[in-house]
Amino acid sequence: MKNNFLILLLLSLAFFGCTQKKAEDRTLKSSEDSLVIYLSLANDIDLPFKYKQDYNKKAFDIIINQKDDSINKVNLFKVANRYYNMDDLNSYKKISVLILERSKKSKDSVNLAKAYTYLGDYYNGKAVSDSAFINYFAAEKIYLRINDEGNLAKTFISRADLQFKEGDLFQSEITIFKALRVLKHQKDVDNQIYECYNLLGILYNEREEYEKALDFHNKALEILKLKTIPDALLSEATSLNNIGFVYLNMHNYKKAKINFEKGLEQKDLFRGNKALYAMLLDNSAYSKFKLEELNGLPGEFYRALKIRDSLGLTSGVILNKIHLSEYYTYKKDTINAFRFSKQALTLSRNTNSLRSTLESLKQMAVVDPKNASRYSEEYIRINEKLQKAERNMGEKFSRIEYETNEIKDENSILQEKNKTLVYVFSICTLLGLFFYVYKTQQAKNRELLFKQQQQIANEDIYNLMISQQNEIELTRIKEKKKVAQELHDGVLGRMFGVRISLDSLDKIDEVEVIAKRKKYLAELKNIEQDIREISHDLNREKSELINNFVAILNKLFENQRNTFSSKLIVSFDPYIKWELVSNMVKINLYRIVQEALQNCNKYAEADIIRVEFKSEMDHLILSVSDDGIGFDTKRTKNGIGLHNIQYRVLECKGTVTIKSAKREGTHLVIKVPIDQKINLQAHDS
């Protein structure tokens, strides 16, 4: 009773474990499906900001509870990207810092560098240039160390953009060409090359090298014609705007207008990038104003201003108001000219935008000539301040780079000093490890030797058992044959003589004697038929007896079913003539089945196990399969069990195939060559 109770308890636990595992799998799949949906909705430009934030938060709640691995970090980066697209930079920074901490903990260099890049983008967006530069430089060093040239080029581009914004044009140019040198050896990097050319065009325009600027902007446009960049239409609008801006600076307003209008014609521009649309609209209106084509003005200026104001684009709003001031100055509307110029100056001062303040002061000097000298003095003072700030920032970038390299050099010196200690410690550790491995290997060899001896003993016992079974069967067959011969040659012969004697009574005419004779003859015929049938049955019984090898296998299968909860399905090809298969093959097949079942019980966690014996032309096939958890055949090293199976198959001059994958079960197929007559006799019988 106690044993029965324990078996029931184990079966219950196994069932509960399987049920719980299936439930966990369903929950995991459900959460993964939800994550994909939430991330997709968080990136939907048609949804309101609040909904996108809620969906991104739900996605984050799922990800944060998952295992911290490379896939988890990829999903966290997706959440960060969506916050960046929503312009929620604080949440973007929070996720980036979390990835940075996790990457440091797991020593994940690739994601660590990427997290530094994301933080650089955050500080760049917040106009904290020194912090942005530090993070970009940290990412750059890691990418150099791990030889990740693709991401190294992207980091160079981000750093060059930052240097350009801070007025360090010379270093920005150097950094862009560094990126281009790296990209020259890369494939599928048209987007990065476009960014480099576009930034060089803007940079040379700022330096008033207009021909160079146009050359690089046109190169950028040529790349877009390859149609390899996903947002090529918006990029084309950007390039056309930049080319138009160069022509504005060259006072070639006609060409400027043509490029701005081409940019505005790009499909879905307003829906895809309202800020770019407003910029092109303002620039187009300004070039028309300069050409004295006043049709549609000042309406286009006001439309651009409204869009920029709704998007909170302060620098764009300032420029728009300066353009309106210029327009009203031309129209001799001094009140509106002064009003818009004053608003632009106030907004520039409030946002501490030095470049915008300079532009506003220039316009104020035009609309308010009485105070022109005061505006000019302020212009000179701010311009000097701006130049000094740009120079200081350039020096600060150089200092950060220098100090970082100094720290690296100091670390290298410390590493050199510690090398001797590390070598000594390593040698001692290796000696200790070698001694431990030697001792462990000795123990394993002893264990393996013992197992081999045990295996040989088992095989001897099995051979003895088979031989004994064969001896018993042969003796039994001989006895049956002897009885059959006795019946056929002795009893039937004598009875045949009696029947002949009785036949001789036919000559007697007595009616009573004839009747008795016929009765006895009929009885003797019946007895003769019965004895003949017994003789034939005894001879036929040999071929109908269950084969000994199959009986031994069935005993193994019965033990398996009684001991383990997995469902075992067995099939034997009825055409196999087991008496024609050699004992050596039978022994090895029995041991292979035994080992395969043991592996299923230990590791597979299978619900169903199938064992099949099939006969093919020239081959006997053994197939063992399960629906368990499987394993990676490329990574998993063969244990002693699999080695034994391979050894036995080799002994039979056969082949073994193992097919398995994670969560897809395992399929073991053994093909043993056999004499063709086994198959032929099997089908003929």
Q: Which two tokens stand for residue 360?
A: 């506003």
**Given a cut of 90, is residue 19 above it in pLDDT?**
no
Instruction: Write down the pLDDT at residue 461.
Output: 62
Segment 428-450 shows an average pLDDT of: 82
Range of lowest pLDDT (79-93, 191-205, 467-481): 467-481
Instruction: Write down the pLDDT at residue 435.
Output: 83
- What region does 630 belong to: left with phi over 0, alpha with psi -120 to 50, or beta? left
- Cis-peptide into 298, omega within 30 deg: yes
Tell me how far CA of residue 660 lies from CA of 363, 493, 623, 655, 672, in angstroms: 77, 67, 14, 17, 21
Pairwise CA distance, residues 595 & 590, whole Å: 9
Percent of the chain with pLDDT over 90: 19
- The full DSSP string for 579-596 is GGS-HHHHHHHHHHHHHH
**Given a cut of 70, is residue 565 above it in pLDDT?**
yes
Instruction: Write down the pLDDT at residue 428.
Output: 84
Segment 675-685 shows an average pLDDT of: 54
C-beta of residue 596 within 8 angstroms of C-beta of residue 623: no
What are the phi and psi torsion angles at 8 (to 5°)?
Answer: -60, -40
When pLDDT is cut at 50, 70 and 90, the band that residue 604 belongs to is confident
Range of lowest pLDDT (208-222, 345-359, 421-435, 632-646): 632-646
**Given a cut of 70, is residue 606 above it in pLDDT?**
yes
Give the list of residues 6+ apart from residue 367 with CB closer than 8 angstroms, or none. 325, 329, 334, 337, 338, 341
Segment 349-355 shows an average pLDDT of: 82
Percent of the chain with pLDDT over 70: 75
Pairwise CA distance, residues 275 & 269, whole Å: 10
When pLDDT is cut at 50, 70 and 90, the band that residue 642 belongs to is confident
Domain boundaries, the chain: 401-544, 548-684
Segment 435-453 shows an average pLDDT of: 79
What are the phi and psi torsion angles at 36 (to 5°)?
Answer: -60, -45
When pLDDT is cut at 50, 70 and 90, the band that residue 626 belongs to is very high
Q: Which two tokens stand for residue 24?
A: 């966990």
Pairwise CA distance, residues 254 & 289, whole Å: 11
- pLDDT tens-place string over residues 569-586: 999 998 888 888 888 888
C-beta of residue 573 within 8 angstroms of C-beta of residue 613: yes
Instruction: Write down the pLDDT at residue 40.
Output: 87
When pLDDT is cut at 50, 70 and 90, the band that residue 473 belongs to is low
Segment 507-526 shows an average pLDDT of: 65
Instruction: Write down the pLDDT at residue 269.
Output: 85
Pairwise CA distance, residues 535 & 411, whole Å: 99
**Given a cut of 90, is residue 287 above it in pLDDT?**
yes
Segment 130-147 shows an average pLDDT of: 87
Beta strands in 495-618 (DSSP E): 567-572, 608-616
C-beta of residue 339 within 8 angstroms of C-beta of residue 333: no
Instruction: Write down the pLDDT at residue 370.
Output: 87
Most confidently modeled of 99-108, 225-234, 435-444? Answer: 99-108
Pairing of strands 567-572, 608-616: parallel
C-beta of residue 35 within 8 angstroms of C-beta of residue 61: no
When pLDDT is cut at 50, 70 and 90, the band that residue 281 belongs to is very high
Block residue for tokens 């469902």: 567
Pairwise CA distance, residues 154 & 197, whole Å: 13
**Given a cut of 70, is residue 623 above it in pLDDT?**
yes
C-beta of residue 650 within 8 angstroms of C-beta of residue 630: no
Range of lowest pLDDT (11-25, 26-40, 59-73, 500-514): 11-25
**Given a cut of 50, is residue 680 above it in pLDDT?**
no
**Given a cut of 70, is residue 231 above it in pLDDT?**
no
Homologous superfamily assigned to 548-684:
Histidine kinase-like ATPase, C-terminal domain (3.30.565.10)
- pLDDT tens-place string over residues 384-426: 776 776 566 555 556 655 555 554 544 555 566 667 777 778 8
- The answer, as to whether pTM is greater than 0.95, is no
Pairwise CA distance, residues 109 & 615, whole Å: 56
When pLDDT is cut at 50, 70 and 90, the band that residue 465 belongs to is low
- pLDDT tens-place string over residues 312-345: 888 889 999 999 999 999 999 999 999 998 998 8
Query: What is the average pLDDT value for the chain, to the nearest integer?
Result: 80
When pLDDT is cut at 50, 70 and 90, the band that residue 546 belongs to is very low
When pLDDT is cut at 50, 70 and 90, the band that residue 541 belongs to is very low
Pairwise CA distance, residues 681 & 553, whole Å: 23
